[in-house]
Amino acid sequence: MNGLRLMQRGHRRQRQRRSRRTSTIPNSSLLVILLIAIAALSSPAPAGPVVAPIGSWRGENDDTLTIGADHTFILQSPDSQIRAAYTMLDSAHIKIEFVTRGATNSTTYSFSVSGGALVLTNVATQKVTRFHKTDIPAPKSVKPGGK
């Protein structure tokens, strides 16, 4: 009978060891899971969609700038025209890509829009260029008598 009890104890111990091995997560894995959860909770929520300053703008030197919803950027001066494509980097930066004779050049500008005015600042040179909105709908005229 002693031999049978010893065998039963041995089987019980093996089952306990197996169950311990399969049910516990190694400390390093638990730490990784915990760090991922903390990072997910502490990362900021994604911002809303980034909006380009779409429309037509008149510059200080009679330049006309058109920024299209289709990512086109056209700068028309009295003696030349520059066509480019743009990419919004974030809510305050726009990257303009010019293609000339097989080469692509890009320039990044910070921008702000306030009260119908667009201010573009070349990030590399800090040169500021100002434009005013030209496609603002004219206010509807009011007929005498309020109608």
pLDDT at 26 (0 to 100): 59
The per-residue pLDDT for range 44-78, each reduced to its tens digit, is: 555 567 788 999 999 988 899 999 999 999 999 98
pLDDT at 51 (0 to 100): 84
Name the phi and psi angles at 142, rounded to 5. -105, 125
pLDDT at 19 (0 to 100): 52
30 pLDDT band, cuts 50/70/90, is low
Maximum mean pLDDT: which of 6-10, 40-44, 60-64, 105-109: 105-109
pLDDT at 31 (0 to 100): 55
Query: Distance between CA atoms of 9 and 5, rounded to whole angstroms?
Result: 6
pTM: 0.59
pLDDT at 94 (0 to 100): 95
Residue that wins the pLDDT comparison between 38 and 58: 58
Query: Distance between CA atoms of 50 and 58, rounded to whole angstroms?
Result: 23
The domain made up of 55-133 is a member of CATH 2.60.40.2470: no
Distances (CA, A) of 95 to 9, 68, 73, 127, 132: 73, 14, 10, 15, 20
